[in-house]
Chains A and B, each alone.
Chain A
Amino acid sequence: MSEAHEDDSLSAPERARRRFLTQIAAVTGAALAPGMVLFQVAQARALDQPVSSKTRWGMLVDTTKCARGCDICVKACDIENGIHSLGRPETDAQWIRKVTLRDLHTGYVQSLPMMCQHCEYPPCEDVCPTGASFRRADGIVLVDRHICIGCRYCMMACPYKARSFVAEPLHDQVPWSPRGIGTVGGCTFCVHRVDRGHKPACVEACAADGPGALVFGDLMDPESGISKMLASQQTSEVRADLRLNTGVRYHGI
């Protein structure tokens, strides 16, 4: 009612100007909206926005494509995260590794990458006394190095042997993937890249220089490439008997 009164009180040129501005706003909105949608798809979320459980990042490993002897994904991870051998294999960190499987009865041999499986119910998170091991709302399992006390209980609990302890002082670290002596680390799904709309380094390297055996994407989005592939072919979790609902799935094992 009050708006009507206000409108009545406006002069004709003022009403015309208001209509014009409204039309401009509508046209501008219509023009920008698709762009905004595209922007959201590419960016996933603005960096100042909290992560959401509407997304769950996951990876599909096609073991039928994964080649024995190929370690492109491992090298890419090492470079991206500043991991290098210190000449002591038993304490050197390995965030992703190539594992060779041989069927005990048939002799059939396969190769696949093994890393943090980013479980929905991660045993590492359950056992961590301080909460340093945690799972982000978007499914990425991480270690908060500021409150990790280095008890290594997560390493005892992880069914996938996915974590490494930093057993000596580190030099030449990369700023986007800091590590520290006396704390535990493991695959972060290259969270620093994912948050900027990129894929993990191993996935990009495998696609660019390798067989393209790794697919990364949002498991919650039925239209994502990974969701469509998961819906159309047989895949499985490693140690599915533990019912951890892993974010990494394998085809061909």
Chain B
Amino acid sequence: MKPRIHYRELEGGVGFWALLAAFGVLIALGLAAAHYMETNGHWVTGMTNQVVWGMPHVFAVFLIVAASGVLNTASVASVFARAPYKPLAPLSGLLAITLLIGGLAVLVLDLGHPDRLIVAITHFNFRSIFAWNIFLYTGFLAIVAVYLWLNMERRMNRYSRPVGFLAFIWRITLTTGTGSIFGFLIARDSYDSALMGPMFVIMSFSFGLAIYLLVLMASYAGSGRPLGDATVRRLKNLLGVFVASVLYFLAVFHLTNIYWAAHIDFEKFILFGGNVYTWLFWGGQVVLGGLIPLALLYWPRTGGSRFWISVACALVILGGLALMYVIIIGGQVWPLDLFPGKAVSSTFYDGVINTYTPSLPEILLGVGGVALSLAATMVAIKFLPFLPASLEDAIVEPAPAPASASAGAQHA
């Protein structure tokens, strides 16, 4: 007989409350930073008329992209009907909501007028990909919330699959929309690529799954609940595929840019300029966030160790932040080419490679958004039954009846 999955609220000891308090402090610091930026104006940040989006956007876009990707496990369970992923779906949906809220909070608090949020949700210009995203984000929150309810309410389980399918379509659209915020910038050599949409989708798969795996392992290790090796192995192998796919997309993106003569100077700047963006791209994304995690995930001696899998996940996340920094900041410091073939200069920084130094308030706001996501997740799993009491292999994926005895013995 198939063992039943029991979902339980997290017990939560001293460590739980201490971690939650730490996140609370980070959230308070983030809010204080936002207040400081709003009352003084953005001149107190590193953002200028040249680099108009800074560190808050690096964090916000990362969180929004990851929010879509973290729904991977739920999608595999509902869309592809893979039974072993089903117990993992509630946490997947929860993180999708909390990460998106964290990202949106950072984005809104960085606006010149966060007090005009009501304007943003009552005035729409439907030609703007930004306006579409407002619908995509709020729709995503609603669909995933309904999906969670259908999933967690036993009587409604049978309806969860079509809603899961809708969530899958919606998240692909959402991340394509997020990537297109950059892809639609026709005048900038650094963006203006149809690849931005799909590249952001694959980035979301990778960053989201890394966060999911890390949160899953931390929750089960912290609460002493059993988490089977098969579940971890399955997710880390999938993560490896996504990490490799991100590297593939980055290679295609930069190679197509190099093919276009007008973009060669920008590519030289990012890839071989010897500047902070070059280091963050090669060192941060490609090596630390790509090749090393791949090695850690697939090399048998580290691929079986939860410690090294955690390190790989953390590196994928750090590499993702580095990549966001290269895309968002690196893309803006490169000057607009108003007069191709001519050297341009002015008092408004035309024709020069701009500078950007992240300020403390920006970083605090971004980190506050991450803390908000994680704190909301902790509160939710503490008071609602999101996590299965056990994710032992025998429970998650029971072997067929004749072989059940040997499978149980193997696990023991």
Contact = CB atoms under 8 A, between A and B. Distances in A.
A73 to B, nearest CB: 13
B406 interface: no
A148 B338 contact: no
A104 B347 CA distance: 20
A23 to B, nearest CB: 56
A165 B346 CA distance: 18
Nearest to B107: A151
Interface string A142-176: 00000111111101111111011111110000000
A99 B130 contact: no
Contact of A165 (B52, B184, B188, B347): B52
Given A91-B42, A94-B348, A99-B344, A156 B53 contact: yes
A103 B341 CA distance: 7
Contacts of A150: 111-113, 116
Chain B, interface SS category: loop
Interface stretch (B11-19, B119-127, B232-240, B272-280): B119-127
A127 B126 CA distance: 9
Interface in B17-65: 38, 40-43, 47-50, 52-53
Interface stretch (A6-14, A30-38, A128-136, A189-197): A128-136
A70 interface: no
Contacts of B50: 90, 161
A156 B130 contact: no
A100 B42 contact: no
B128 A126 contact: yes
A168 to B, nearest CB: 3
B112 A90 contact: no
Chain A, interface SS category: loop
Contacts of B410: none
B125 A129 contact: yes
A181 interface: yes
A114 interface: yes
A239 B262 CA distance: 13
B265 to A, nearest CB: 12
Nearest to B130: A129
B120 A168 contact: no
B131 to A, nearest CB: 4
Contacts of B347: 89, 94, 97-98
Contact of A160 (B120, B185, B338): B338
B345 A149 contact: no
A103 B342 contact: yes
B349 A102 contact: no
Contact of A127 (B129, B339, B346): B129
A127 B342 contact: no
A5 interface: no
Chain B residues touching A, range? 35 or more
B349 A183 contact: no
Interface residues of A, number: 56
Nearest to A91: B43
Contacts of A128: 125, 128, 130
Interface string A177-201: 0000111100000000000000000
Contacts of B41: 166-169, 181-182
Interface string B257-276: 00000000000000000000
Contacts of A220: none
Contacts of A153: 128, 130, 181
A238 B338 CA distance: 7
Contacts of B128: 126-129, 153
Contact of B112 (A89, A97, A103, A151): A151
A149 B52 contact: no
A215 B110 CA distance: 40
A88 interface: yes
A253 B339 contact: yes
Given A99-B338, A155-B52, A149 B348 contact: no
Contacts of B111: 149-151, 182
B186 interface: yes
Contact of A91 (B49, B181, B350): B49
B188 A156 contact: yes
Contacts of A159: 186-187, 336, 338
Contacts of A16: none
A163 B129 CA distance: 20
A130 B342 contact: no
A94 B123 CA distance: 28
A161 B348 contact: yes
A109 to B, nearest CB: 9
Contacts of B124: 129-131
Interface in B326-351: 332, 336, 338-339, 341-350
Given A130-B131, A151-B130, A159-B338, 6 more contacts: A127-B128, A130-B123, A131-B123, A131-B125, A153-B128, A239-B338
The 10 closest A-B pairs by CB, nearest first: A150-B112, A182-B112, A159-B187, A168-B41, A129-B130, A90-B48, A131-B125, A152-B52, A130-B123, A167-B43
Interface of A: 86, 88-94, 97-105, 114, 123, 125-132, 147-153, 155-161, 163-169, 181-184, 238-239, 242, 253
26 contacts: A88-B43, A89-B347, A91-B48, A98-B347, A100-B345, A101-B339, A101-B342, A101-B344, A105-B341, A114-B350, A126-B128, A126-B184, A131-B125, A149-B113, A149-B116, A150-B111, A150-B113, A151-B130, A153-B130, A153-B181, A158-B187, A161-B49, A161-B50, A161-B336, A168-B41, A253-B339
